[in-house]
Structure 1
Amino acid sequence: MLATTHVNYLGVFLWSNRTLYSHVSLQPLNPEAEYELVDLPSSLGKHRSEEDDVPATEEPQFTSVEQINKMLVTLSTLSTSRWHNLLNLDVIKKRNKPKEPPKAPKAAPFFLPTIPSLEMRFDLSETVEKSKDVETRTVLGVNQNLSIFGKLLNQSAETGRFDSALEKLMSMGPSAIDLEVSLLAPEGGGSIELMLKFMRLVEHMLDSRKNFELAYSYLGLFLKTHGETVASEPELRSCANSLREQQLSGWQDLQNKLLYNLCVVQALKTL
């Protein structure tokens, strides 16, 4: 509370902070604009006019910029469940795998035959024999057609803009990202060129310094899945060297800023 007195005004004025009870829009004032003076409140009350019934203008919604400065590292707004466990996804799947595979129920015919006896019994001998004769085979076919992410990656590499492919990758879950990364290899329906384009995508993320933690997570998953292929192909090795240089430069800048802030905080504590 704030108590004030004024010239030619009887009594004491008691003020309270309105922001403690309701939302108050705080907007910067224009120094060149002229503002009307507001009268002090009176104990007699104020006559209500039609202008008081006019609703106030809506407060413009504040939208933060995508990146404050290119010299700074910008993190994504995705939850940690989307990218933090990409390297340990195989361990999580193995841990969540059921001990026994699910058993399918026995198929029963539409008309169940009965066995002649005093008790009501069904004859299921033919159904059991048919189930033994049927062999189940699982055929894993290689899909030669590219996925939606693969097509967007090809288009992005041709135009030099990876926004559409990156947005598609950010909208996926951990399992879908792991599948898309595994399909980049030739044995998964992709090609060496497609793997190189994915590395260009990560290089673009490191160069722009946007989605910093996602770039490291995607690159770690890619190297874990296709490390041998990258080591055997000269084009992929040269691109990996450039990625390593960008990774070191970006991490050194971030580390220097973090250490500087820690030193300043530690120095202020000793004062």
Structure 2
Amino acid sequence: MEDVLVRRAAQLLGSARRVVVFTGAGISAESGVPTFRDDLTGLWARFDAARLATAEAFHADPDLVWGWYEWRRARVSRAQPNPGHLAIAAIGSRAVDSTVITQNVDDLHERAGTRGAIHLHGSLFTPRCVAAAGHPATFEDPSDGPAAQPDEGRRIPPPRCASCAALVRPGVVWFGEALPETALTGAVEAATACDVLLAVGTSGVVYPAAEIPRIAARSGATVIQVNPQPTPLDTVAAINLRGPAAEILPALVAAAWEETDG
């Protein structure tokens, strides 16, 4: 039965003119990147993730919050894209028009070769200044940037913006903050216009991002879900493929373009 579903999904993917790939924490977890709440281990385990991920926490104790995010960024830097990420990049090179929308704050899609991924929740690799409406930050010292490898539990003073000397904050969306307007608008437009949306490794419960597959379905697109476990998107998806993205996506992409290539 699974082979039949993969073949049907491959036919739909290979014939689609506009494809959206919508990814969540599951695909990054397959590369060893802990989920947000699982990224509190060792010396960080005494903290509540939700209390570290707010603007209030940053302004109350910027060294603590910056230290945690630098530690997370260092861990992501050591992770490698898995075959699922590479398959998604291959979709971008084969589909007529494709867009990757991700809830993840890592850079694994980019390192796999995807260009122009929409990061709904921001990125660990795009820190920004707290002043001037959050313009992108620059660093006076490269060791303060993403290449730093801080020790677990280390408090690190945030760098100052080289342009205006204001504090630099992590470039992620914190609790209580709205999603970036440009990213959300781009995601909604892509979901509304696509023929096929692949939902990969997402729980389907974190809003407003979880609305993206539902927007695609309401707009007439076929939603294909790739996930090892059932999710609330099961009823939205026309096809549910159970299993790891690193196994299913390469097979799906190969079958999609083998069929269209004849």
TM-score range, shorter chain: under 0.3
Larger Rg computed on CA atoms:
1
**Higher percent of residues as helix:** 1
More RCO (CA 8 Å, sep 6+): 2
Q: How does the TM-score come out when normalised to structure 1?
A: 0.22
